[in-house]
Each structure stands twice: as structure tokens, then as C-alpha cells.
């Protein structure tokens, strides 16, 4: 006969906070949090982002300060998104050694050295005037193979500026291999690649597109980002990226894709990252602003669930705040 009620009572281990804490299966560490930041060229003061309360487009000065604060709080990494003053069809600012992202990466390195892992998001959508993630053909589609050349050269520019790691997010086929080859050829054999392997065509990127000014002018990203209906396809993307040399893999967004995080974490032997994206941030902040849920508890619950699902690195706009809370 199997043991059960009334001898067995699961509530016994929930009686006090100390008991609950002792048997907790999941804990968050500041070092596994990564702060996404936006740096905008040519502004005198930080610009608030209306759909992301508390998040700004930084100036070079305010970004240095934010990086120092993140490092001070124990945050593990920072990922840089550049918003250039001028955009063109090729996204020329992406690989310009004097481009805003490269300047910001160098600034952060100057400020915190190796105190934060500095990741460079690698895509063209913030740099192109049409807002697409790559080179657009006259017919209006995103051309895979010519885009790879732009990514390869951008990766080199980012590594030269001091990025510890590059994170390709464009979902072009072969992008990890092309970037690996370029980095190795330029003497950056030891710069790892964190591949956004399973990046879904998600409605939850809405606020980010305001922040990064990278909404597509026409069409959408459904021909390269993944269909939210698919899970096995994510495993295939992860497999391909690992074969091309990815050192870490990322799932994005996080909360609607906890099952994908779990399946990937059970499959691979590299660290798994998850990106709690702008829309996840915005919907929680909006509900909290209305008094509809307990903001701080809800933030911790989402992050704990992403960790529990199997992500060991989490990108979140709350990184500094949460790192401070974890240390308090
Ligand atoms: C593309 C990129 C996007 C995000 C990160 N990198 C936007 C997109 O694919 O449209 C979204 C991040 C977020 O919503 O927080 N460079």
C-alpha cells in the first residue's frame, strides 16, 4: 500500500519561511542575469521609452553609469542595442568602427573592464532604413546569403570594439558558421557566440521596436523568425547552430516558450539562455501600474519560472533591480 494522507502531509514542509527556503529547488543568482540596454546616437539626454516604464535610450554617459550600476549590483552581463542617427539600406552603421554600438561597447569596457560580460546583439534591423534584419532584394524579401556577409563584418567590428561575446539575432540560415569563420579569420578565435537559436516571430517584441526604432517599414519577420506553433523546429535550429559552432544557445521570448526552454535544456550540453522580452516586461509593468498584481512578486515569479524551466542565463530589463534585491 502506498503511503498517503493522513500520514503523509506535503504541507509539513511549507510551515515557515525558513523551511520553504531550505527545500527550494530553484534559486536565482545575480551573475546569471543579463541587462539589455539601448544606446542612441546624437541625443543630449536619456530618452524614456513610453511602452517600457523605467527603460531609456541611453546617451554614452548615461550608459556608462548604468553599466557601472549593473556591475556594482552583481549583474552578470550587459547586451548592447545601438540606435544610429542615420540608417541606410545596408545598415552601414552596424559594422562602422565609429558606429554608435562600437563606441558604446568600448565605453562599457572602459568603465567596467571585465566586470560584466559585454554582449553585442548582432542584427541589422536597428541600422537599416527599411527596418529589416538583412539585405532586402528588389522583390522585397530578405536575402539570406548577402546578409551573412554583413553579419560577418559586423561581428568583427564588435569584437574589435571589445565585445566579450556576440549574439546573432537575425535568424538567417548559416549565420553562426559565417560569424565563427569571420571571427576566427580576424584573430578572435576566443570570442564566443551566443546564438539566438530559437527566436520566434512574436508579438511580444512590440515595445522593443519603439526602443530600438527597428520596426519593419513593410512586411514582417515571419519568413525568418520561427512560427510560435513549432517546438521540434526549435530543436532543429539549436542543433544547426551547435554544429556551426555556437557556444551558448538562446530561446526568445521566455514566458510563452517555457516548454521550448525545457526541451532544449534537456537536449544540449551548452548553457541555455532565455530572453524575457520587452512585451513581457511591458505587460507586467502595465498590470502593476493599474494595481492589478504585486509587481515585485510577479517579477520574481516570472524569473524563477524561466530558471526552473532550464535557462541558466536570463536576459531581463529588470536585471539590475533584481540583482540588488537578491543581494539585499
Ligand atoms: C532584433 C531583435 C529584436 C529583439 C531583440 N533583438 C526585435 C525583433 O526581432 O524584431 C526583441 C527584444 C525585446 O523585445 O525585448 N535585433
Complex ipTM value:
0.95
Ligand 1 close to Cβ of residue 167 (< 6 A): no
Q: How far apart are CA 310 and CA 306, in angstroms?
A: 7
Query: Could you state, in order of their start, the residue ranges of all structural domains in the chain?
Result: 29-327
What is the pTM for the complete model shown?
A: 0.97
* Tens digit of each residue's pLDDT (9 = 90 or more) over 145-185: 999 999 999 999 999 999 999 999 999 999 999 999 999 99
Strand 142-143 and strand 165-168: the pairing is: unpaired
Ligand 1 centroid – CA 16 distance (Å):
41
* Tens digit of each residue's pLDDT (9 = 90 or more) over 43-93: 999 999 999 999 999 999 999 999 999 999 999 999 999 999 999 999 999
- Cα separations (Å) of 173 from 65, 104, 148, 236, 249? 37, 28, 8, 12, 15
8 pairs with which residues across the strands?
none
Ligand 1 centroid – CA 63 distance (Å):
19
Catalytic residues: 199, 252
* Tens digit of each residue's pLDDT (9 = 90 or more) over 185-235: 999 999 999 999 999 999 999 999 889 888 888 889 999 999 999 999 999
29-327 CATH, one of 3.10.20.30, 3.20.20.70, 3.30.450.20, 2.40.10.10: 3.20.20.70
Amino acid at each position: 500500500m502506498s503511503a498517503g494522507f493522513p500520514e503523509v502531509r506535503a504541507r509539513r514542509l511549507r510551515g515557515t519561511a525558513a523551511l520553504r527556503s531550505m527545500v527550494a529547488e530553484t534559486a536565482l543568482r545575480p551573475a546569471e542575469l543579463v541587462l539589455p540596454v539601448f544606446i542612441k546616437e546624437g541625443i543630449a539626454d536619456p530618452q524614456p521609452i513610453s511602452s517600457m516604464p523605467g527603460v531609456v535610450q541611453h546617451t554614452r554617459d548615461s550608459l556608462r553609469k548604468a553599466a557601472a550600476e549593473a556591475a556594482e549590483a552583481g549583474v552578470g552581463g550587459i547586451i548592447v542595442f545601438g540606435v544610429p542617427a542615420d540608417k541606410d539600406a545596408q545598415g552601414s552603421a552596424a559594422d562602422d568602427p565609429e558606429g554608435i554600438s562600437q563606441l558604446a561597447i568600448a565605453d562599457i569596457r572602459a568603465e567596467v573592464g571585465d566586470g560584466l560580460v559585454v554582449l553585442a546583439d548582432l542584427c541589422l534591423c536597428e541600422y537599416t532604413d527599411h527596418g529589416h534584419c538583412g539585405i532586402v532584394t528588389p522583390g522585397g524579401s530578405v536575402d539570406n546569403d548577402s546578409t551573412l556577409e554583413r553579419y560577418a563584418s559586423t561581428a568583427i567590428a564588435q569584437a574589435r570594439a571589445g565585445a566579450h561575446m556576440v549574439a546573432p539575432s537575425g535568424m538567417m540560415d548559416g549565420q553562426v558558421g559565417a560569424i565563427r569563420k569571420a571571427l576566427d579569420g580576424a584573430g578572435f578565435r576566443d570570442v564566443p557566440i551566443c546564438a539566438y537559436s530559437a527566436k520566434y516571430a512574436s508579438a511580444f517584441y512590440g515595445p522593443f521596436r519603439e526602443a530600438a526604432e527597428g520596426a519593419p517599414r513593410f512586411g514582417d519577420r515571419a519568413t525568418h523568425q520561427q512560427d510560435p506553433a513549432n517546438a521540434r523546429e526549435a530543436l532543429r535550429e539549436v542543433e544547426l547552430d551547435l554544429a556551426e559552432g555556437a557556444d551558448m544557445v538562446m530561446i526568445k521570448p521566455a514566458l510563452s516558450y517555457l516548454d521550448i526552454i525545457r526541451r532544449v535544456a534537456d537536449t544540449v550540453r551548452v548553457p541555455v539562455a532565455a530572453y524575457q522580452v520587452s512585451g513581457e516586461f511591458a505587460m507586467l509593468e502595465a498590470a502593476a501600474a493599474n494595481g492589478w498584481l504585486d509587481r515585485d512578486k510577479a517579477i520574481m515569479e516570472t524569473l524563477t519560472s524561466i530558471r526552473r524551466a532550464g535557462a541558466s542565463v536570463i536576459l531581463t530589463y529588470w536585471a539590475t533591480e533584481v540583482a540588488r534585491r537578491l543581494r539585499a
